[in-house]
Amino acid sequence: MRLEMVSQAIYAAWVASARVMRLYRTGRVDVSLKSDATPVTEADRQSDKAIRECLAMTMIPLFSEEGRVPAYEERRDWDLFWMVDPVDGTKEFINLNGEFTVNIALIEDNKPTVGVIAAPDKGLLYFSVLGRGAFRHEGIDFTIANFDSYDYVALRKRCDYEKFRSTSQKLPLPRDRDRPFTVVRSRSHRAPELIDYLARVQRMYPNMREEICGSSLKFCLVAEGSADCYPRISLTSEWDTAAGQAIVEEAGRKVLDFATRKPIFYNKESLENPSLLVCEPDVKLPDLSEGV
């Protein structure tokens, strides 16, 4: 079942990415504010619509950052559902820097078992299935010139998991032995507590290098082995992390509650996550409580 679901998710991410890129290439971004004062664009809405249409045939409940979030009383007993962030890194999309992603995860029994992250402007797609590893596919042209006459049947076949996997790179990628200890951090969220924490990390790793990146691409950098850790000392929502966690864990890395160092679970009453630590399994890092 999961292989069929990841194929559907790859297909949905591809179609959504094409919708997003058609708007992105115009260089004109229409921005409005949601009730929580965060920005939303037409790309968010079109991506959300495309993903819902593509995944409707799975008959699995779906909730998305850009749609109605079911009340906890409605979803508390869900043991299988899609969790979607149609455009993660909306600020990066608005700033036209290419660091935005389309995120789709399948949650089973409170854990992400399928993850798909597309980075449309970079031509990248990361994907994973529980027990089968994580992969990176590069060089994708997400362009769909005419959405009305496009051969979607052929695209579905192209997105078949086994075919896609056969031309993808398994994660993690071979490590560059000359790479210094690398921490990836958010471009948009730079809390004072994080700066203090990174200073303490640098005392442990004097040659530490910082990589600054937007969206769930930070998860992908840790999964592929380009970065050693991603500390996030501020709140995120479950849809921000679900697909990334699936990919990171299948690449042999971890996504942990920063304070307790325990795994993150999903479909909580509050959809907010605690501060996170995404890292290689044996990496040595200071505790959050030490001086923060």
Q: Annotated binding site for substrate: which residue ranges?
A: 65, 87-90, 240
Domain limit, last residue, from 170, 201, 219 = 170
Q: How confident is the model over 108-136, as a mean pLDDT?
A: 98
Confidence label for 262 from pLDDT (cuts 50, 70 and 90): very high
Q: What is the pLDDT of residues 159-206, one digit of tens each?
A: 999 999 999 999 999 988 899 999 999 987 778 899 999 999 999 999
Whether pLDDT at 5 is above 80: yes
| More confident of the two residues 28 and 215 | 215
Q: Which domain holds residue 54?
A: 2-170
pLDDT surpasses 80 at 277:
yes
**Residue 47's CATH number:** 3.30.540.10
pLDDT, position 292: 42
What is the structure's pLDDT at 29?
A: 83
pLDDT over threshold 60, residue 268:
yes
Does the residue 289 lie in any domain? Answer: no
Q: Looking at residue 189, what is its pLDDT? A: 73
Final residue in a domain of this structure, among 147, 170, 193: 170
Closest CA to 67 of 89, 82, 54, 57: 82
Q: Is 10 exposed, middle or buried (0-12, 13-18, 19+ CB in 10 A)?
A: buried
Sign of CA dihedral 168, 263, 216, 115: positive
For CA atoms 243, 280, 235, 202, give the dihedral sign. negative
pLDDT in tens, 57-113: 999 999 999 998 899 999 999 999 999 999 999 999 999 999 999 999 999 999 999
Q: Which residues pair with 170 in a beta bridge?
A: 135
**CA 237, CA 267: separation in Å to the nearest integer?**
11
Residue ranges for the known binding site for Mg(2+) are 65, 85, 87-88, 240
Within this chain, do residues 27 and 70 fall inside the same structural domain, yes or no?
yes
Structural domain includes residue 212? yes
Q: What is the pLDDT of residue 290?
A: 57
Per-residue pLDDT at 287 exceeds 60: yes
Q: Which residues contact 151 (CB under 8 A, 6 or more apart)?
A: none
Of the three residues 127, 144, 170, the one that is the final residue of a domain is: 170
Annotated binding site: 65, 85, 87-90, 240
**Is residue 80 within a helix (H) or strand (E), and if so which, with residue range?**
strand 80-88
Do 18 and 160 lie in one domain? The reply is: yes
The answer to whether 107 and 242 have CB atoms below 8 angstroms apart is yes
What's the CATH number where 251 sits? 3.40.190.80
Number of domain units in the chain: 2
Q: What does the alpha-carbon distance between residue 291 and residue 200 come to, in Å, rounded to a whole number?
A: 9
Q: Residue written as tokens 């708007």?
A: 23
